[in-house]
Amino acid sequence: MREEKAIRLMRNKDPDGLKALMDRYIPYVSAIVWSILRSAMTVEDAEEVASDVFLAAWEQADDLQTGKVKAWLGAVARNKAKNALRSAGHDLPLEEDVLELPDDSALERMERREEALLVRQAVDSLPPRDREIFLRHYYYAQPISDISREMRMPEATVKTRLRRGRMKLKEYLIGRDLF
């Protein structure tokens, strides 16, 4: 049964919706619960926590959104497992990913976003007409002849303004250690 239908059934208080959700996500929820509880609690306690997660889903069916159920269940499972540990007087385990550095691709994405922001700030620092020429040519890939015609200026002027814009951008970005 599809997630969307299971949610709809749960909202109508049909237990078949909950059963479908449990069939689909019980291994996922159990893995999260067990990774937190580990040997601090019994298997029965872990099963009870996992059941509490699905009970929460049943009670909050109106809050569930198609495509986000797995994430919602995971968050509830983590919280309920940690609460169970606290209630039993155990210390919370150190999350395994707390000490991990982000992977290279995450760092690269973050660096690209920062660079894109700096480039955008650099372009925004250009005078309005130069910025328009720059964006038309480099962002919208508009030929110099079209820019010249639409902005009613000689092609040589467009080329000069583009060169001047590149020089200003370079100065701006060098000043911020991007080059």
pLDDT tens for each residue of 85-116: 777 776 555 444 443 444 556 667 777 777 77
How far apart, in whole angstroms, are the C-alpha atoms of residue 166 and residue 170? 6
Same domain flag for 115 and 80 = no
Work out the burial of residue 29: count CB atoms within 10 Å of its CB; fewer than 13 is exposed, 13-18 middle, 19 or more buried.
Answer: buried
Q: What is the mean pLDDT of residues 128-133?
A: 88
Whether 29 contacts 81, CB under 8 Å = no
Among 51, 79, 96, the domain-final residue is: 96
| 66-75, 131-140, 168-177: least confidently modelled range | 168-177
Considering only residues 118 and 164, tell me which one the structure prediction assigns the higher pLDDT: 164
Same domain flag for 118 and 86 = no
Same domain flag for 44 and 77 = yes
Same domain flag for 9 and 78 = yes
Looking at residue 177, its pLDDT comes to: 59
Res 161 pLDDT > 90: yes
Q: What is the SS3 assignment for 172?
A: helix
Tally of domains in the chain = 2
List the domain range (segments joined by +) for residue 48.
Answer: 3-96
How far apart, in whole angstroms, are the C-alpha atoms of residue 57 and residue 4? 14
Looking at residue 96, its pLDDT comes to: 43
Q: What is the mean pLDDT of residues 109-129?
A: 80
Selection from 5-19, 107-121, 130-144 with the highest mean pLDDT? 5-19
Same domain flag for 86 and 140 = no
Looking at residue 47, its pLDDT comes to: 87
* Mean of pLDDT over the chain: 82
pTM score over 0.85 = no
Count CB-CB contacts under 10 A for residue 149.
12
For residue 81, the surrounding DSSP H or E stretch is helix 69-87
Same domain flag for 9 and 72 = yes
Considering only residues 156 and 116, tell me which one the structure prediction assigns the higher pLDDT: 156
Among 96, 116, 136, the domain-final residue is: 96
Same domain flag for 15 and 86 = yes
Same domain flag for 7 and 90 = yes
Among 96, 121, 153, the domain-final residue is: 96
Q: Flag whether 114 is in a domain.
A: yes
